[in-house]
Amino acid sequence: MPHAKTVHPAKLGSRKRVLILALPPVDALDVIGPAEVFALANSLCREHPEPYSVELVSSAGEAQIPSHTGIALVAHHTLQEEQTSGRAIDTLIVTSGWNPAEQLDENAIEWIREQSPKVRRLCSICVGAFALAHAGLLNGRRATTHWRMARDMADRYPLVNVDPNPIWIKDGNLYTSAGISAGIDLALALVGEDLGEDIALEVAKNLVLFLRRPGGQAQFSIALQSQHHPGSNLDELCVWISEHLHSELTVEILADHLSISVRTLIRLFQRDLKTTPAKYIEDVRIEAVCRALELGGRSLEDIARICGYRSIDVLRKAFIRRMGVSPRDYGVRFARDGGGQ
């Protein structure tokens, strides 16, 4: 049982009704992951009235919700019952499965559209974003979904600014997240908004998460992205780059390592990774800096040296340009020991 934490009464307010709407068949973890976050937040605040009331609603005509795992979930009630209840919702979270186009029940879509101006927060997990887009709620908004479905979503809903990279995005009171574990990250962010970062971090620890990830973090690492083209001539080079970030990495040095011309090297990067050698190296270096800051235990001078920056000042300017915050602020927020440089 998690240890109770003291939460300032002003942060608690009235009990918040969190409703998870399932458009079956669902990905079970998209439902269970966020629900566990709110349940743990309740247990951590047990000396006060529980801050959340979490309910699962099925858009189908019955409470049993099939999932892609073959393990059925049981909803508290159906959407039809919810429609007649008239109870207010604080946070509405929409979940779906891997065939969203086949799961866009028009009754559910209309109900989501009606709830949009009434709820404090409207969220989607993974491809649940298709439901929000189909309702027209993401038009002109920035949104994300699982990277495998991002192109399909952008093609179907051209008025939505689909960004396949972040694990979750907030645009006004609309929150969209990527797949599976990203729903947990989003739920932690919601708890952080409501109860404070200390509670959100404690929930993350109780879930034995290695790291509580910010919304701007990429769905997968730069190194993993570089592996999307098996057999590419760049595979070995990308591994070599990650092992030599502390060294000078000019296009001439990279081309010599592969025994090819600079022009050929640039063409390979454009063809296989859709980027330039310089941009790729910058991305990998910034990602390495983030990882070092998150792990803690190193000075900014050490991080600059091992990641290939000539000075702390050069690192700081590059980091702010890319991340929008200073290395120190990033470290304070995301380091495991709460520290920073």
pLDDT of residue 224: 46
pLDDT in tens, 69-90: 889 999 999 999 999 988 999 9
Task: Report helix, strand or coil for 289.
Answer: helix
Domain map (residue ranges) of the chain: 9-206, 222-334
Q: Is residue 275 very low, low, confident or very high in pLDDT (cuts 50, 70, 90)?
A: confident
pLDDT in tens, 92-151: 999 998 877 777 889 999 999 999 999 999 999 999 999 999 999 999 999 999 888 888
**Domains 9-206 and 222-334 are alike in CATH topology:** no
**Phi and psi angles of residue 35, each rounded to the nearest 5 degrees, phi first:** -60, -40
> What's the CA gap between 274 and 266, in Å, rounded?
10
pLDDT of residue 76: 96
> What's the CA gap between 341 and 339, in Å, rounded?
7
pLDDT in tens, 181-229: 889 989 999 999 999 888 888 898 888 664 555 555 554 445 545 544 4
CATH classification of 222-334 is 2.160.10.10, yes or no? Answer: no
| Average pLDDT, integer, range 228-248 | 79
Q: Which CATH architecture has domain 9-206?
A: 3-Layer(aba) Sandwich (3.40)
> What's the CA gap between 251 and 253, in Å, rounded?
5
Q: Give the global pTM.
A: 0.67
Helical spans, DSSP H, in the chain = 9-12, 28-44, 79-85, 106-115, 129-134, 147-156, 182-195, 197-206, 222-225, 235-243, 251-258, 262-268, 277-295, 300-306, 312-323, 327-334
Share of the chain above pLDDT 90, in %: 57
